[in-house]
Amino acid sequence: MKGYGWIAASLLGALGWMPFQAQAVSEQSIRDCQRNMNPLVVSQCIARLKSQSYRLEEIECRKDLECWGERFSERAQRNCAVGFARAAQWDPRWWSYWDEDELTHVRWRSRRDGILEYYLDNAGVRLMCAFDPELPQRVKVQYGPAVGDAGVEL
């Protein structure tokens, strides 16, 4: 058994880390709960977020593009529209590409970080919006040729 102590220590360390991963709650989720002015509702919402079953469900959803994309679709549509409108203030070509249509597809921008890219193909041009669920108010918009990965239709 000599020399194998490091294996046992690393396995115990990994097992000790796993419950904390399942218990972590994002700051954005807590802010969403705090939007309600009723303290009882806020505490119930935060308790639900901290429940292991909710966290495991979220971890499973994050593995599936369709589930993760649908979960944040409404917020992404709203925040990306603001990003497109701001871009149109500086570059009038945006108005010719974006006429306030809803984004129709989603794909991974960074699967590891859970960052999504919502997009719309319009007349050979793809309007793209990078959306991070942890920082939903910060979006990155761009346009380019409508080629490449088809993503998942919303």
User: Given this model, what pLDDT does residue 24 score?
Assistant: 63
Nearest-angstrom CA–CA distance, 49 and 51: 6
User: Given this model, what pLDDT does residue 48 score?
Assistant: 80
User: Given this model, what pLDDT does residue 9 score?
Assistant: 40
User: Given this model, what pLDDT does residue 131 score?
Assistant: 95
Residue 37: Cβ within 10 Å count: 7
Rounded CA Rg of the chain: 20
User: Given this model, what pLDDT does residue 21 score?
Assistant: 43
Among positive and negative, which fits the CA dihedral 16, 18, 22, 25?
positive
Tens-digit pLDDT string for the chain (154 aa): 455 444 434 433 443 443 444 446 677 777 777 777 778 777 888 788 788 888 898 889 999 999 999 999 999 999 999 999 999 899 888 888 887 778 999 999 999 999 999 999 888 889 999 999 988 889 999 998 988 877 888 8
Give pTM, 2 decimals.
0.72
Which residues, in sequence order, are bridge partners of residue 152? 106
Strands, sheet with 115-122, edge to edge from the N-terminal-most edge strand: 139-145, 125-131, 115-122, 105-110, 152-153
User: Given this model, what pLDDT does residue 98 score?
Assistant: 80
User: Given this model, what pLDDT does residue 149 score?
Assistant: 78
User: Given this model, what pLDDT does residue 94 score?
Assistant: 84
Q: Report residue 16 as tokens.
A: 């000790």
